Every structure is written in structure tokens, then in C-alpha cells.
Copies of this chain bind each other. A is one copy, B any other.
Amino acid sequence: MPPFDVPEGDPFGPHNLPYGVFSPAGSQERRVGVRLGDHVLDAGAAAAALGSPYVSLLARPTLGPLLAAGRTAWSDVRRALTAWLTVPAHRETIEPLFHPLSSVTLHLPFEVADYVDFYSSEHHARNAGQIFRPDAADPLPPNWKHLPIGYHGRSGTVVVSGTDVVRPSGQRKGPADPAPVFGPSVRLDIEAEVGFVVGVPSAQGEPVALGDFREHVFGLCLLNDWSARDIQAWEYVPLGPFLGKSFATSVSAWITPLEALEDARVAPPPRTHPLLPYLDDSGSGDEPGGYDLRITVAVNGHVVSEPPFSTMYWTAAQQLAHLTVNGASLRTGDLYGSGTVSGPEPDQRGSLLELTWNGRDPLELPDGKRAFLEDGDMVTLSAWAPGPGGVRVGLGDVTGRVVARA
């Protein structure tokens, strides 16, 4: 089963080449890996064996140096990797440097600097508005169509796919309760999102223009913004989500470079409101800001939703321009989430809040009803995008099991 012979049409074929950080079986050492099919190439070892100048970027315990190296280097390294994996002359050198995916330990692939989460799906925002403010004339807040609403989250609790998520405890208070009560969250939810990874930093005081998105952002990954709805509801006025979100955020072990997603670029939905110049992407017809990513949300292996990322109102380029327009600087390793991805259809909603309409209509799973997550539930986010010649580009899964606090 030589890895070079990855089956035709495999979503992790040589057209994809996502990056991660792994430890080989029996080792604690961290190494940059590139996924090919069901194998991981030790990229640093490959660079060293082939005398590549990119050994300084790849023979590292984190993706940080590669992220910081910038767009030209990203392209050059990708071109080199493609050659190593497809030119028969390299086969003898490269093949021993593969590890079966099932044999390695995958790590958080980079140190998360600042983590920001947006709220950029119109369908999600409308659903949330209707659920929480049923009497409002407009379910969207008045600023929603003018800027991509976002907030900072806790970067220290971003964890890699496969990490158990301890059910958080906290304060909650129902409208009829005289005082808040304390205990494990009883409304633990998921948010299916896409995370964008910043490579190239920017200086404080210097906004990043809409057109410079791909000079700074290296790639993307799936992201599960776990949310305790009961904790969040009681705490979030007036300063926003805090403990309802900060206990854990799960990301894929694999970062898909934007270069692998050229065929997935699509125009975002038509804009219904005029945009201020720094957000106005109406003139960028050949630089569509959207990505056609088809996400699947499963609970205990049962598919509960298929959110289409192409329906997001605000693009990642707009989010980056907004994030920096006040002069806030970027650092290598900054991560920002798209916000919950929900499409227009009921089976395209990216949270249980919306799928069960705040618990009113529980999901019927093979193992019972679910209003919110139960201890032991395993959540899996997966996705693919259209690739070259109709081949799919697979994104790395994000899995996480809910466990009670010991």
C-alpha cells in the first residue's frame, strides 16, 4: 500500500496537500506533516533528504515558520511538495518518510495568537434573532448588514480535533428564576464554522486592505465553536459571550492552504445594502471572496445537517479588512472563525439551537432524542470543496466527544 498510489479522486490526493503537525508512533517529537490519502509525509525529513532549501520551514515542531514565510514561499513550498510526491524519481527517497495516519498523534498545528469569532451567516443570524427576540420587527441587529460583527474568544482553549470536551459548569437563570443557579450546562451546543489562519503579520496602526487578504491568510480549517447556551444567555448582556464559549474551541488537525481551493472560489450572495469602501467587494469580480465548502455535521455518526459555506454573507477577506481597519495588528497564528454556517434550508443549520429551534423540536437520532448534547456524544464536522477537474478537496475532520467533569 504505497502512499504514492493514493486512489484516483481521493479528496486528500496530491491536489490537496494540507499541513499539520504530528508525532510518529512511539515518539513525542513534533514534526510538520503533509497529508496524502491516509498517510502523513514527514515534510521536514523529505526536505532534508532531497536537499531542499525549505528544510528551515518544514523541519520544525510547528507550522509557525511556514505561516510567517509569506505567499511566495507558500507557493514555492507547495510546488516543491507536489514535485516530491508526483515525480517518480523521488519515489525511493520519499516513500520511507510516510506514516500511516492511524499510527500518528496529531497536534494543534500552530500556536494560536489571537482568536476572533465572527457572526457572518445571514441565515444563522436571522434564526438566532427569531429564537431570542421573537417580537422584534427585524431579526437582524441594525448593524448586521453594515459590518461583520465579531468578538474575541479565548485562544488558550483552542484544541485540536479529537480532544475531549469537558461539559462546562456555570451560572444560568431562566426568566422565571428568582436568582441564578450553578451547575453543568444543560444546553451544550455546537457551532459548525470555518476557521482562517493568518500567516503574515501586520503593523499596529496599519489596516489590511480587502485585496491583501491572500497576502496574509495562509489557509483554513473546520472549527467547532462549542457553546453553552444557558451560560451564554445569562452572561452576554452587555459585553458579549464569555464563559459560554471560552471553555473549548476545536479545530481540524489539517490546515488546507488557500491555494488548494482555487476551484472552490465563488461570489458571495448579493449585497442588499451599500457597503463602506473598506468592505466593498462589488468591484472584485475576478477575486470572488466566497468559498464553496460543503460541510456535514454528524452526532454519533448520524448526519444532522449539511451547511453550505457558499451562503455566508460576509467573506473572510471582508472579515480581515474589518478586524484591522481600526489599526489592530495581526500576528502569525491569529485565527478567526466565520461564525456558525447555516444555509437557508432547515437541514442546513449549523447549530442545535437552530436545528431544534432552541430545544422545541428535538432531533430524532437512532439512539434517542437530542435537544442539546448529552455526555458521551461524539460530534464530527467534515467538509469538502470542488477541486481541479471535478475532484474533491477534503478538509480535515473536527471531532470531539462531550464528557462530564470528572
Contacts and interface: CB of A to CB of B under 8 A. Distances in A.
Interface of A: 113-114, 119, 141, 143, 146-147, 149-157, 159, 166, 168-171, 173, 179-180, 182, 204-205, 207, 228, 231, 234-244, 246-248, 274, 276-278, 322-323, 325-331, 334, 405-406
Nearest to A331: B156
Kindly list the 5 A-B residue pairs having the minimum CB-CB distance in the complex, ordered from nearest. A240-B240, A168-B326, A166-B205, A152-B152, A243-B326
A156 B329 contact: yes
Contact of A243 (B141, B155, B322): B322
Contacts of A235: 143, 147, 149
Contacts of A168: 326-327
B325 A159 contact: no
Contacts of A153: 152
A248 B326 CA distance: 10
A87 to B, nearest CB: 41
A278 B170 CA distance: 10
A328 B154 CA distance: 8
B204 A239 contact: no
A325 B168 CA distance: 8
Contacts of A248: 204, 327
Nearest to A185: B326
Given A114-B156, A180-B276, A248-B204, A325 B170 contact: yes
A130 to B, nearest CB: 14
Nearest to A244: B326
B156 A113 contact: yes
A151 to B, nearest CB: 4
A354 to B, nearest CB: 16
6 contacts: A146-B171, A149-B239, A151-B239, A151-B241, A155-B155, A159-B204
A180 B276 CA distance: 8
A151 B243 contact: no
B243 A157 contact: no
B240 A239 contact: yes
A146 to B, nearest CB: 5
A239 B147 CA distance: 13
Contacts of A151: 151-152, 239-242
Nearest to A201: B156
Given A237-B141, A239-B241, A322-B243, A330 B156 contact: yes
A326 B169 contact: yes
Interface core residue of A274, A278, A330 (most chain B CB under 10 Å): A278
A180 B327 contact: no
A73 B388 CA distance: 58
Contact of A143 (B149, B205, B237): B237
Contacts of A205: 166, 405-406
A329 B156 CA distance: 7
A152 B182 contact: no
A228 B156 contact: no
A152 B154 contact: yes
Contacts of A156: 113-114, 328-331, 334
A243 to B, nearest CB: 4
A216 B244 CA distance: 23
A141 B396 CA distance: 42
